[in-house]
Chains A and B, each alone.
Chain A
């Protein structure tokens, strides 16, 4: 550390140049992980578009969004739990069980779809509460508690489904979740609201910082960031409208992302999640109830897993014995990690759930378009996971040695 004062006295031109250099330096140190993931997605999309020109069509991108909603929703909960420095290996099994409970209550017991959905979510919440209780009260590592859960809740799903093994969902609110598409106008209205809300937030933030007499950062950067978000929203709605329109499921997923991103970054509770994940002892001494934070986060995590399971069932139009099985667990955890959420706690962001799901979903979708066989698909997916995490580890190493 040089100790040289920066800023105030420097000429504007020098400051601009400094800002660019600072940007590049921080990029190399892996601080703009999001940008790196977006670049990665661009590369993946380009490759698949060259391999098959149907990849970047409106219908395929629309399908891609629908394919990733369930796993991205589960991953939101995974992010929260990873932020704590814990892990939940039972999220996929819980998503299957919650969907099973919902389907059986709705179809076999004749519950209203709304109530059945709530019961599914409550199942997830109850399991999360149990996990949190076991971890905090008995000090059992979450790895072990949820590994046991992984097996037990799969068994519970089989028991709930009974002899038939499959419950098909009739045409009702549950299936509507993933088969409803907004009209063109409503789609644009959603985009307008999102862009307006984002812009308002950025402006309000700058005003508040100005009022407190703090540096506000370059105006150009803020404008550019807002423009990128607006352009992405407009492009997404334009593409989705060209196909069937903006899917309700995507709006649900994005709303959950926005809500939990807000909670983690802007509220006291969210700050405490990061604190517990960073240094639980320090958090405890600062007067934070680490037990309360842990239990609630496990509960939220499993509830979000249940929500993801319900979306998956809605898209499949059924719940069967393999719901929540296969590689769902791996993908739900790998997604956020690829996009920059640490496995070791305290570092990450909610939107990594979406970015990671986009990376994995794009690869899987693209390989399906190319009609690759399972052997190749598994190996390529594995290689991409390793590559992404290696890049992350390499930048982190550079960060540790690059500054003192």
Chain B
């Protein structure tokens, strides 16, 4: 069993004709530092990809390249087979790419409904007055949380300051879904959570997959990645070190790819080469 086999398996799983998102030969440099080097990446609809790697491996840079926050220097992006440019957050958003950052970007002083609709409030547009339509927003918030199976938030009029970490993460993910995205990028969604809350969030990620969304999950926690991901993409020093099928690989293999040590440099280098082809 080695990385090459599982990579082939993964390739078979993904419908070759129309991946939701495909990146080819993406590179990004910050001055002399090559943060991403010739990275290929694919994500299908209804697929969860775990993006793992050591600090500085390029996970965040890749996420930022996809979300348009820091566009890549080189490479091509295809969305449902069409060539697209992801050079601004707005461009990515219009394509249906939503990002939930690790800091969640919630206003603690506002309640769940207010946070969900922050910056995209539903209003009654009377000329000269921009009135808020609270009942519609509250109604749609309840519907959305219900459809996601979020049951632990007792009142959507609770200040976010009074919610637990898991509930906040759920609110942030729900907010990203308001724009009806096709693809959701989750940056360390379980980093600050306890066992029970982590389970809730992983269930939520599975709901996203059931909805047919493509999901990218960055995580340091390999156990969580194995519990939720269909495929695992390992980055190392800005390159794709391995693409592994979650069902057919194991923790040791992933750790080996992350560190480039376990199977020896040679093995990882070969995996990288073949992936680049």
Contact = CB atoms under 8 A, between A and B. Distances in A.
Interface stretch (B41-49, B57-65, B101-109): B101-109
Contacts of A373: none
Contacts of A42: none
B5 interface: no
Interface in A255-281: 266-269, 271, 274-275, 277-279, 281
Given A6-B154, A282-B118, A268 B107 contact: no
Nearest to B166: A1
Given A208-B135, A271-B114, A288-B118, A281 B105 contact: yes
Nearest to A348: B109
Interface in A382-404: 399, 403-404
A214 interface: yes
A283 interface: yes
Contacts of B107: 274-275, 278-279, 282-283, 346
Interface stretch (B16-24, B123-131, B225-233): B123-131
Contact of A285 (B105, B121, B123): B105
Contact of A214 (B121, B131, B138, B154): B138
Interface in B85-133: 103, 105-110, 114, 118-121, 123, 129-132
A286 B138 contact: no
A79 to B, nearest CB: 14
B82 interface: no
A274 B131 contact: no
A277 B130 CA distance: 20
Given A6-B154, A268-B123, A271-B121, A278 B132 contact: no
B151 interface: yes
Contact of A278 (B110, B130, B135): B110
B152 interface: yes
Nearest to A6: B154
Contacts of B132: 266-268, 271
B152 A1 contact: yes
Contact of A213 (B118, B134, B139): B139
Chain B's interface size range is: 20 to 34
Contacts, number: 85
Given A268-B123, A279-B106, A404 B114 contact: no
A94 to B, nearest CB: 27
A139 interface: no
A288 B119 contact: yes
A145 B105 CA distance: 28
Contact of B164 (A1, A274, A346, A347): A1
A17 interface: no
A266 B131 CA distance: 6
B120 to A, nearest CB: 7
Interface string A1-34: 1010110000000000000000000000000000
- Interface size class for chain A? 20 to 34
Interface in A207-226: 208-209, 211-214
B162 interface: yes
B136 interface: yes
A267 B109 contact: no
A267 B139 contact: no
A1 B154 contact: yes
A277 B135 CA distance: 24
A267 B119 CA distance: 12
A268 B119 CA distance: 9
Contacts of B167: 1
A110 interface: no
B119 A287 contact: yes
A287 B136 CA distance: 21
A303 B8 CA distance: 69
Contacts of B162: 399, 403
A3 B152 contact: yes
A76 to B, nearest CB: 19
Interface in B120-173: 120-121, 123, 129-132, 134-136, 138-139, 142, 151-152, 154, 162, 164, 167
B146 to A, nearest CB: 12
A268 B125 CA distance: 10
B68 to A, nearest CB: 13
B108 A278 contact: yes
Contacts of A3: 151-152
27 contacts: A1-B154, A208-B134, A212-B136, A212-B139, A213-B139, A266-B132, A267-B129, A267-B131, A268-B130, A269-B130, A271-B118, A274-B107, A274-B114, A275-B110, A275-B118, A278-B109, A278-B110, A281-B103, A282-B105, A282-B118, A283-B107, A283-B119, A286-B120, A287-B119, A346-B107, A346-B109, A403-B162
Given A1-B154, A214-B138, A286-B120, 11 more contacts: A3-B152, A212-B136, A212-B138, A214-B135, A214-B142, A268-B130, A275-B110, A275-B118, A285-B105, A286-B105, A345-B109
Interface of A: 1, 3, 5-6, 208-209, 211-214, 266-269, 271, 274-275, 277-279, 281-283, 285-288, 345-347, 399, 403-404
4 closest A-B pairs by beta carbon, nearest first, are A286-B119, A346-B109, A278-B107, A278-B109
